Amino acid sequence: MGVKVQDYREFMDEVLVDENTIGKRVAELGAQISREYTSRELLVVCLLRGGLTFTADLTRHLTIPHTLDCMSLSSYSVGRYASSGNVRVNLDLMTNIEGLNVLLVEDIVDSGRTLAHVLQMLKTREPRSLKVCVLLDKKYRREVPVEVDYVGFDVPDKYVFGYGIDIDEHFRHLRFIASADMQKYRKTS
């Protein structure tokens, strides 16, 4: 068996957003979205995998009728910091979005490249409206302009994890969002 998974406290730089603050902000976003989509049927699209926790919590604060669908995407280029390539759809929507009000829910927007591609792709299917809700916005890293309609928190250009966001597939289950000191982090084999 490989090396044991490292305790996150060994490489955590700081807690960027604590559980309580996340909970409050997610509730606010849910209320805002509920107001803005009143009497309009909404399809919430969760972008796996990072968006999972955020979507599960956000939808519980929606007071309007809505349905849920998921998409799984990956990038044709390699590496977390080099997502400049095209987007590959691993799991497409079950729902035909033509004529629907669609809200894309994502954990984090960074360069904006993936998001811009997905939006472009989904627009070809002619939804009635298409908006984006992200929990974290790393504005400083933006390379492609992309319109984000709902933002949970602006975060600095740091390596983040927790609340759905992983490092090498771990630490998604943590209840807060933290930044990592990657010099102290060691990958599990």
Partner 1 sequence: MQDYKDFLEEVLIDEKTLQNRIKELAEEINRDYAGKDLLLICILRGGIVFLVDLMRHITVPLQLDFMAVSSYGAGARQSGGSVRLSLDLKTDIRNKEVVLVEDIVDSGNTIAYVLEFLQTRQPSSLKVCTLLDKEERRETPVPIHYRGFSIPNKFVFGYGLDLDEHYRNLPFIAVADQKKYRTPE
Q: What residues make contact with partner 1 under the rule CB under 8 A?
A: 1, 4-5, 41, 46, 48-49, 52-53, 55-57, 59-60, 62, 65-70, 72, 90-91, 95, 166, 169-170, 172-173, 175, 188
Q: Which of 14, 65, 48 is nearest to 172 (CA)?
A: 48
C-beta of 188: minimal distance to partner 1 in Å? 8
Q: Any bridge partners for residue 91, and if so which?
A: 72
Helix and strand totals (H; E) in the chain: 3, 9
C-beta of 91: minimal distance to partner 1 in Å? 4
Q: Which is nearer to partner 1, 16 or 37 (CB)?
A: 37
Q: List the catalytic residues.
A: 110
C-beta of 147: minimal distance to partner 1 in Å? 25
Sheet holding 12-17, edge to edge: 12-17, 177-180, 160-161
Q: Which of 181, 180, 177 is nearest to 18 (CA)?
A: 177
The answer to whether the CB of 25 falls within 8 A of the CB of 48 is: no
Q: Which is nearer to partner 1, 91 or 144 (CB)?
A: 91
